[in-house]
Amino acid sequence: MSLLKVVGLDKSYHSNFRVLTDINFEVDTGEFVSIIGPSGAGKSTLLRCINRMVEVNEGKILFGDLDVGNLSKKALRKLRTNIGMIFQHYNLVPRLTVIENVLHGRFGYKTTLQGILGKFTEKEKEHAFFLLEKLGISDHAYKRCDQLSGGQQQRVGIARALIQEPKLVLCDEPIASLDPNSSKVIMDHLKAITSELNITCLVNLHQVDVAINYSDRIIGLNQGEIVFDGPSQMLTEGR
Ligand code: ADP
Ligand code: ADP
- Find out whether the beta carbon of 44 lies less than 6 Å from any atom of ligand 2: yes
Tell me the CA–centroid distance for residue 118 and ligand 1, in Å: 40
Write out pLDDT tens, residues 94-139: 989 999 999 988 865 545 666 777 888 899 999 999 999 999 999 9
- Beta-carbon count within 10 A of 118 CB: 6
Answer whether 160's CB lies under 8 Å from 130's CB.
no
Write out pLDDT tens, residues 151-200: 999 999 999 999 999 999 999 999 999 999 999 999 999 999 999 999 99
Top mean-pLDDT range of 14-18, 74-78, 156-160: 156-160
Task: Indicate the pLDDT class of residue 13, thresholds 50, 70 and 90.
Answer: very high
**What confidence score (pLDDT) does residue 239 get?**
59
Q: Which candidate, 116, 192, 179, 115, places its Cα nearest to that of 152?
A: 179
**What confidence score (pLDDT) does residue 105 get?**
86
Average pLDDT value for residue range 227-239 = 84
Given a cut of 80, whether residue 17 has pLDDT beyond it is yes
Average pLDDT value for residue range 6-20 = 92
**What confidence score (pLDDT) does residue 178 get?**
97
Output the residue whose Cα is nearest ligand 2's atom 20.
40
Q: Which candidate, 151, 160, 164, 171, places its Cα nearest to that of 214?
A: 171
Write out pLDDT tens, residues 208-221: 999 999 999 999 99
46: enclosing H helix or E strand: helix 43-50
Question: Residue 14 CA: which ligand is closest?
Answer: 1
Atom of ligand 2 nearest to the CA of 48: 16
To test the pocket of ligand 1, the residue of 14, 15, 16, 19 to mutate (highest count of ligand atoms within 8 Å of its CB) is 19
Segments of the chain assigned E as strands: 4-14, 17-27, 32-36, 58-63, 66-67, 83-86, 168-172, 200-205, 217-222, 225-231
Q: Which candidate, 3, 4, 12, 16, places its Cα nearest to that of 60?
A: 4
Q: Which residues line ligand 1 (CB under 6 A)?
A: 13, 19, 37, 39-45
Tell me the CA–centroid distance for residue 213 and ligand 2, in Å: 28
- Find out whether the beta carbon of 2 lies less than 6 Å from any atom of ligand 2: no
Q: Report DSSP letters for 160-188, one per residue.
A: HHHTT--SEEEEESTTTTS-HHHHHHHHH
Output the residue whose Cα is nearest ligand 2's atom 2.
39
**What confidence score (pLDDT) does residue 163 get?**
95
- Find out whether the beta carbon of 88 lies less than 6 Å from any atom of ligand 2: yes
120: enclosing H helix or E strand: none
pTM for the full model? 0.90
